Amino acid sequence: MTARDYSQLVAREICDALSRTDDSQVEMLLDMAEEARNIFVGGAGRSGLMMKAFAMRLMHIGFSSYVVGETTTPAIGPDDLLIAASGSGRTSMTLALVEAAAARGARTAVITGHEDSPLASVADHCVYLHAPVVFVNHERPTRQPPGSLFEQCLLAQCDAMILMLMRRRGVPEDFIRRRHTKFE
């Protein structure tokens, strides 16, 4: 296979997985985000990196957003929202984040590849991406390394949610440009 073939394989897998996302789950998450005073995001490994990108875009479009674990992140509390991601839905650190946020009165939402996971069961809301990390009956929905499809779908879904929030809130592109880092 050529480089183009591999790129197209990855793109097809992402499109196939995201085409099955439940719109009502996404809309509910966006409602929760718009109602929140502050939005905190979290996750481990590459899922955590995708969530950092999401927090940055949330800030760009006018939300007060924070990444859990950063030194400048304030305390979470009532009226706040934690959005956490885990492909397996079993990552102990991410599960602990959701439980801690809930104990402090915050609302919680998760994005996962396993809607019947421990993480999904403790959150107030779950967005299920059809890109499982733990394969059932050895069935592999992807030719990529484990986790890659979920992480790619997570980034794409988060970017799609930013577009949806921009439309909902009437955020023009020049607003984002003004809030983008200008140190270069």
Tokens read off for 165: 């929030």
CA angle (159, 161, 165) in 5-degree steps: 120
Cα–Cα distance measured from residue 131 to residue 150, given in angstroms and rounded to the nearest whole number: 5
Query: Are 91 and 122 a contacting pair, CB within 8 Å?
Result: no
Q: String of b and e for 94-104 (b: at least 16 CB within 10 Å)?
A: bbebbeebbee
Encoding tokens for residue 30? 């966006």
Q: Which of 110, 130, 108 is nearest to 119 (CA)?
A: 110
Active-site position among 35, 70, 115, 151: 151
* Cα angle for residues 116, 67, 45 (degrees, 5° grid): 55
Per the annotation, the verdict on 99 as an active-site residue is no
Residues recognised as catalytic = 151
